[in-house]
């Protein structure tokens, strides 16, 4: 009994999925289940936190106000005083979803629940989720730039000089790639490290690594929303063309460093 | 699976994390060293320095994680196994 429980906990099943077929498309069922679970948690939190609002907040209202202010600060520092307010909902949704799903993967004993194939884990443990999130970010910053500046948005591809066009176009592809791989890799690495340690020593020893995993997954949620904010801010900032060599050097340096 | 491909994939998976970790290690060490220097020079700025340090650690670390993703692809979703 104990043996089977532990072997259940320590099962490593990367790349195995519980396929559902919706229409003609196979989807990863275990991701959908946990995603909806995360949605329900966030929904319950926001409903019960904001049901009767008071002048002096207490209990859950404190928490929800703190989260709101936190996200608003991220947006303000990344996007700037003028436009940040309309992007707070987007950044807030992304931050909350990633944060709650990472922590649900680290804190809840999903592995105890048996499913036909694969295993339940954090939704961000699957590359499809993270690619979807980063594609949303790309769409968001294109939308922001185009709605703010119209077709003038495309001027940034040839700034500060025309020969940087390939690099600027390439950036649009590397941004979502690095965003999605960073989140996916970090979450999967945390779960793998914990799973491997649990296989070796099932008690007590993995706890520090679980705590480290909680910390890094919170940081990753922060990093994802900060970067999404930075990209949006970059897209909608007022254009200043600096046709001098210093700016050019800075741009080239930035490309090689990032 | 072709045993040659299997062996090469396992070696490649090990190398991809190991080599990626070298650069990250050097980078994190440099960043941490300068952060400590900054704190020693100006202890009242510790909070800000720590925040920036953790954020940059996340970025530096993700480079190793890219290597890990490559290793995982080689081990669990190898495109060459046919």
| CA–CA gap between residue A142 and residue A53 (Å, rounded) | 36
- The nearest CA of chain A is from the CA of B42 a distance in Å of 24
What ipTM does the predicted assembly reach?
Answer: 0.72
Tell me: pLDDT of A57 over 50. Answer: yes
Contact A219 B55 (CB under 8 A): yes
Query: Model confidence over A205-253: pLDDT tens digits?
Result: 888 988 988 998 998 999 899 999 989 998 888 765 555 556 666 667 7
Residue entry with tokens 């008071």: A54
| CA–CA gap between residue A31 and residue A240 (Å, rounded) | 44
Q: What number is the average pLDDT over the span A16-37?
A: 86
Contact B55 A182 (CB under 8 A): no
Cβ of B38: how many Cβ atoms within 10 Å? 16
Tell me: pLDDT of A89 over 90. Answer: yes
Query: Model confidence over A131-151: pLDDT tens digits?
Result: 999 999 999 999 999 998 888
Mean pLDDT of chain B: 89
Question: Which residues partner with A21 through β-bridges?
Answer: A26
Chain-centre distance for alpha carbon A54? 32
Q: What is the pLDDT of residue B16?
A: 93
Structural domain that includes position A132: 2-257
| CA–CA gap between residue A5 and residue A31 (Å, rounded) | 22
Which tokens in the block code for residue A243? 């046709």
Q: CB-CB: which of A14, A15, A185 is closest to B65? A: A185
| CA–CA gap between residue A169 and residue A165 (Å, rounded) | 6
Chain-centre distance for alpha carbon A25? 25
Residue entry with tokens 């990633």: A98
| CA–CA gap between residue A255 and residue A247 (Å, rounded) | 12
Query: Model confidence over B24-46: pLDDT tens digits?
Result: 999 999 999 999 999 999 999 88
Q: Which residues of B touch A220 (CB under 8 A)?
A: 58
Tell me: pLDDT of A94 over 70. Answer: yes
Nearest CA in chain B to A177: B66
Chain B CB within 8 Å of residue A14 CB: yes
Contact A220 B55 (CB under 8 A): no
Tell me: pLDDT of A11 over 70. Answer: no
Q: What is the pLDDT of residue A1?
A: 43
Tell me the whole-structure pTM to 2 decimals.
0.81
Q: Quick one: which of A85, A99, A185 has its CA closest to B72? A: A185
Contact B68 A181 (CB under 8 A): no
Cβ of A64: how many Cβ atoms within 10 Å? 17
Q: CB-CB: which of A15, A178, A216 is closest to B77? A: A15
Q: What's the domain count of chain A?
A: 1
Tell me: pLDDT of A40 over 80. Answer: yes
Chain A CB within 8 Å of residue B62 CB: yes
Chain B CB within 8 Å of residue A18 CB: no
Taking domain B26-73, whether its CATH number is 1.20.20.10 is answered by: yes
Contact A130, A188 (CB under 8 A): no
- The nearest CA of chain A is from the CA of B72 a distance in Å of 8
Cβ of A59: how many Cβ atoms within 10 Å? 10
Contact B69 A181 (CB under 8 A): yes
Contact A15 B59 (CB under 8 A): no
Chain A CB within 8 Å of residue B55 CB: yes
How many alpha carbons lie under 13 Å from residue A199 in its C-beta half-sphere?
8
Q: What is the pLDDT of residue A159?
A: 76
Q: What is the pLDDT of residue A4?
A: 53
Tell me: pLDDT of B8 over 60. Answer: yes
Contact A120, A21 (CB under 8 A): no
């Amino acid at each position: 009994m104990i043996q089977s429980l532990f072997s259940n906990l320590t099962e490593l099943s990367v790349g195995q999925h519980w396929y559902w077929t919706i229409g003609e498309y196979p989807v990863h069922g275990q991701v959908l289940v946990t995603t909806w679970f995360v949605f329900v948690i966030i929904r319950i939190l926001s409903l019960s936190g904001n049901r009767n609002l008071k002048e002096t907040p207490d209990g859950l209202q404190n928490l929800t106000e703190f989260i709101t202010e936190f996200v608003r600060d991220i947006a303000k520092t990344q996007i700037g005083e003028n436009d940040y307010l309309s992007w707070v909902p987007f950044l807030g949704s992304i931050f909350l979803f990633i944060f709650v799903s990472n922590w649900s993967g680290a804190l809840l004993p999903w592995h105890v629940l048996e499913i036909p194939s694969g295993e339940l884990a954090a939704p961000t443990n699957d590359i499809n989720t993270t690619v979807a999130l980063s594609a949303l970010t790309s769409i968001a910053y294109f939308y922001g730039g185009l709605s703010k500046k119209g077709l003038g948005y495309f001027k940034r591809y040839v700034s500060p000089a025309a020969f940087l066009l390939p690099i600027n176009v390439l950036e649009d592809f590397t941004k979502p790639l690095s965003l999605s791989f960073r989140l996916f890799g970090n979450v999967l690495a945390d779960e793998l490290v914990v799973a491997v340690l649990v296989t070796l020593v099932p008690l007590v020893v993995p706890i520090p690594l679980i705590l480290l995993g909680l910390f890094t997954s919170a940081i990753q949620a922060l990093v994802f929303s900060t970067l999404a904010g930075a990209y949006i801010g970059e897209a909608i900032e007022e254009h200043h063309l600096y046709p001098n060599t210093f700016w050019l050097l800075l741009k080239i340096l930035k490309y090689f460093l990032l | 699976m072709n045993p040659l491909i299997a062996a090469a994939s396992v070696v490649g998976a090990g190398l991809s994390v190991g080599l990626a970790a070298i650069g990250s290690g050097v980078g994190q060490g440099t960043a941490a060293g300068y952060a400590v220097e900054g704190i020693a020079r100006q202890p009242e700025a510790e909070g800000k320095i720590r925040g920036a340090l953790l954020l940059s650690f996340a970025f530096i670390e993700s480079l190793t994680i890219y290597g890990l993703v490559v290793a995982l692809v080689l081990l669990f979703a190898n495109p060459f196994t046919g």
